[in-house]
Amino acid sequence: MRNAPDQPLRLLRTLIPKRYQPWLRGIHRGLAAIGMQLEEPFRTAFPYTQVHPNRLRALAQHARTVCGTGVAGDVVECGVLDGGAAAIMAAFTRECRKRIHLFDAWEGLPQRSTEDGPLADPWVGDVVGSPRRVLRIMRLLAIDEDRLVFHKGWFRDTFPVADISAIALMHIDCDFYEPTRAALARWAPLVAPGGIVQFDDYEDFVGCRRAVDEFLAEHSAIRLERLGAPGTAYFIRFPGPR
């Protein structure tokens, strides 16, 4: 397994001020979407997310499941960037009007830890998203803004003070070991029976994989499930009645 994915256009990225990153990424992804067979709302969301379309479809399926089976609690995303994946979860929980909690510092990735390995270095301080673009994709998908709760800041500051009593669906997409471990430690105890947590980086970032594997080793009743390929979605389902 690779340590961390290669960073595209690494040299060029150092020349571009970070505040322009979200808009350039949007143009790049928008052009890429032209040649792809994407159905709505995935086509509209694609320029606003780095998540593989099959993983977005898996998130949509989980959202339908938790809505349709009445799993209690809110939707949470740890690592939002430009909001495309969060908007998909919001769109597919529209009928049950789940609240959507958006956790991100919007300042790029934090320092790595030893568990992430040296190939994670080029990513530190990079991957800067935009809360304005998050609002834009939410509007494009006609998501009621009353459902959105922005938790802007580093997880170490926002997690302790966030007011969430139960979670039906969570997407953990923060690349590195420490934030993934922190998200599981803080929020897994609040996931309702039948609730689902999907990990975007299990395949690509060794630190994320380590954090998830440690969690699974500590919770023998929970197993990792996989869905689809390419862009396999990795997720866990919390036991209990649905």
Q: How far apart are CA 4 and CA 208, in angstroms?
A: 10
Residues in region 6-45 near ligand SAM by CB under 6 A: none
Please state the closest distance from residue 177 (CB atom) to ligand SAM, in A.
10
User: Toward ligand SAM, which CB reaches closer, 55 or 237?
Assistant: 55
Bond before 41 cis per omega within 30 degrees? yes
3-class DSSP state for residue 233? strand
DSSP 109: B
Contact 82, 137 (CB under 8 A): yes
Residues in region 96-135 near ligand SAM by CB under 6 A: 104-106, 108-110, 127, 129
Structure tokens at 19: 């505040």
Please state the closest distance from residue 17 (CB atom) to ligand SAM, in A.
17
174 binds ligand SAM (CB under 6 A): yes
175 binds ligand SAM (CB under 6 A): yes
131-140 helix and 21-34 helix, angle to the nearest 10 degrees: 40
Structure tokens at 94: 């529209």
**Contact range with ligand SAM by CB under 6 A, out of 13-21, 132-140, 168-176, 223-231:** 168-176
Contact 205, 4 (CB under 8 A): yes
Tokens 């869905």 belong to which residue? 227
Q: What are phi and psi of 151, to 5 degrees?
A: -115, 85
Binding mask 42-71 for ligand SAM (x = CB under 6 A): -------xxx--------------------
Give the one residue of 80, 137, 169, 197 binding ligand SAM; rule: CB under 6 A.
Answer: 80
Please state the closest distance from residue 190 (CB atom) to ligand SAM, in A.
18
Contact 191, 213 (CB under 8 A): no
73 binds ligand SAM (CB under 6 A): no
User: Toward ligand SAM, which CB reaches closer, 112 or 237?
Assistant: 112
Residues forming the site for ligand SAM (CB under 6 A) = 49-51, 79-81, 84-85, 104-106, 108-110, 127, 129, 154-155, 173-175, 179
